[in-house]
């Protein structure tokens, strides 16, 4: 992997720890702030809404700037949001700083995807984007379990203090290893949105919202599901979260290679169908620890196996507004995140067992699968 790709991946590592770190510490932060676990789930939604607001605004604001400067500005916002979040113990104030933490997320992925694609060898574009996204999978393999361990043994605020401080190192690596690249040609403000007049981008966006949102119905509550429904101890959750992260790493890397070999749309469609089947089986086999672990691995692999194809597909379908298009994938991903956290929490608030959060996820992933099939059939002539 090139040093520039590593630098980009460090950024997604930090963003991944910021976003997904909350999944492993919901019980800790709920206890410390004297709120319910579904209320603590609102920190997931606040971050996701920050992504939805920040991605288009920051991308459009920085469209005339050199890409390297845009990346550095986004990392500064990342540091401010996470460091401030770690300093307060107020539910409302921390909701605000979770929102701030989410602002640079989608824009970073949008700009980073273009940088990775520009610097990639011919025919290796999806693999390069997958390399950038790999930082987020490593976050789930190592960073999130480590954050869960620190939260359980010290405090959730220490976890997010470390996440925020990581930004200083990310800032340095971008300065050192990302070459100066000219901004994309400025086609004007309105023309940035012209690609949205076509059906293809909307199919990808809604597939991302609904397909990934379905997985988040389940994954947002993975800690209480695995402890209270499946029967794992709290002490074992660090290892469980590492295994979930390993699934993300494997899914992302395999998907990138297969997408370059076949096509992003074929890999995305198969992955989305597998995600739907995995959630069905998880609900049916939830009381088997072995089956639940295997299905958790497959489910998290699907979550990131579909990410690079979605990123590339929207990049391909956003001519004239590539930076905005690449950022909108992350907007869609995090709207799905918020939708999933909310939808999964509906059953929990009605006192159903935690595994019932999977049910709305099955519905959402099924719709995502159907939309991917529509996209695949619509674009067969292009392949």
Would you state the pLDDT for residue 184?
67
Would you state the pLDDT for residue 276?
95
| Tens-level pLDDT at each residue, the chain (383 residues) | 678 889 999 999 999 999 888 877 888 899 898 888 878 888 988 898 888 888 778 777 776 788 889 899 999 999 999 999 999 888 999 999 999 999 998 889 888 888 887 877 766 667 787 788 888 888 878 887 888 889 888 999 999 999 999 999 999 999 999 888 777 666 666 777 888 888 999 999 999 999 989 998 998 888 889 999 998 888 888 788 888 888 988 998 888 788 878 888 889 899 999 999 999 999 999 999 999 999 999 999 998 888 878 888 888 888 877 777 877 887 888 788 778 888 988 888 888 999 999 999 999 999 999 999 999 888 775 55
| Phi, psi of 24, deg, nearest 5 | -85, -10
Query: SS in 3 state form for 233-297?
Result: CHHHHHHHHHHHHHHHHHHHHHHHHHHHHCCHHHHHHHHHHHHHHHHHHHHHCCCCHHHHHHHHH
CATH number at residue 19: 1.20.1250.20
Q: What is the pTM of this model?
A: 0.78
Determine the Cα–Cα distance for residues 167 and 346; give it in Å rounded to an integer.
Answer: 35
Would you state the pLDDT for residue 67?
86
**Tally of domains within the chain:** 1
End-to-end alpha carbon distance in the chain:
28
Cα 115 versus chain centre, distance: 19
Distances from the Cα of 152 to the Cα of 52, 107, 125, 145, 231, angstroms: 30, 32, 40, 10, 18
Query: Which range of residues forms the domain containing residue 209?
Result: 3-179+186-382
Distances from the Cα of 79 to the Cα of 24, 61, 107, 346, 353, angstroms: 21, 19, 15, 32, 37
């Amino acid at each position: 992997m090139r040093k520039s790709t590593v630098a980009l991946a460090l950024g997604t590592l930090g963003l991944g720890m910021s976003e997904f770190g909350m999944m492993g510490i919901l019980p800790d932060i709920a206890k410390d702030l004297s709120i319910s676990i579904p209320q603590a789930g609102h920190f997931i939604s606040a971050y996701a809404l920050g992504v939805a607001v920040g991605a288009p605004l920051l991308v459009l604001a920085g469209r005339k700037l050199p890409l390297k400067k845009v990346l550095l500005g986004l990392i500064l916002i990342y540091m401010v949001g996470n460091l401030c979040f770690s300093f307060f113990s107020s539910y409302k104030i921390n909701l605000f700083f979770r929102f701030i933490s989410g602002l640079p997320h989608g824009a970073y992925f949008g700009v980073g995807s273009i940088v990775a694609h520009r610097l990639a060898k011919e025919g290796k574009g999806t693999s390069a984007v997958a390399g950038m996204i790999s930082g987020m999978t490593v976050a789930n393999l190592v960073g999130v379990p480590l954050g869960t361990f620190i939260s359980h043994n010290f405090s959730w605020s220490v976890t997010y203090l470390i996440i925020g401080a990581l930004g200083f190192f990310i800032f340095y690596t971008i300065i050192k290893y990302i070459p100066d690249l000219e901004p994309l040609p400025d086609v004007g403000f309105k023309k940035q949105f012209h690609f949205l007049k076509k059906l293809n981008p909307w199919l990808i966006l809604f597939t991302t919202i609904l397909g990934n949102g379905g997985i988040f119905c389940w994954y947002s509550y993975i800690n209480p599901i695995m402890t209270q429904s499946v029967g794992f101890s709290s002490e074992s959750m660090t290892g469980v979260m590492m295994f979930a992260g390993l699934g993300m790493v494997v899914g992302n890397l395999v998907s990138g290679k297969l997408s370059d070999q076949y096509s992003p749309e074929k890999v995305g469609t198969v992955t989305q169908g597998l995600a739907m089947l995995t959630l069905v089986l998880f609900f049916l086999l939830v009381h088997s620890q072995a089956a639940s672990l295997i299905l958790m691995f497959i489910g998290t692999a699907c979550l990131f196996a579909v990410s690079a194809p979605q990123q590339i597909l929207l990049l391909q379908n956003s001519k004239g507004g590539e930076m905005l298009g690449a950022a909108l994938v992350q907007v869609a991903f995090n709207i799905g995140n918020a939708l999933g956290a909310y939808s999964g929490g509906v059953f929990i608030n009605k006192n159903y067992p935690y595994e019932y959060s999977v049910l709305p996820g099955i519905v959402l992933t099924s719709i995502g699968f159907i939309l991917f099939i529509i996209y695949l059939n619509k674009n067969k002539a292009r392949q």
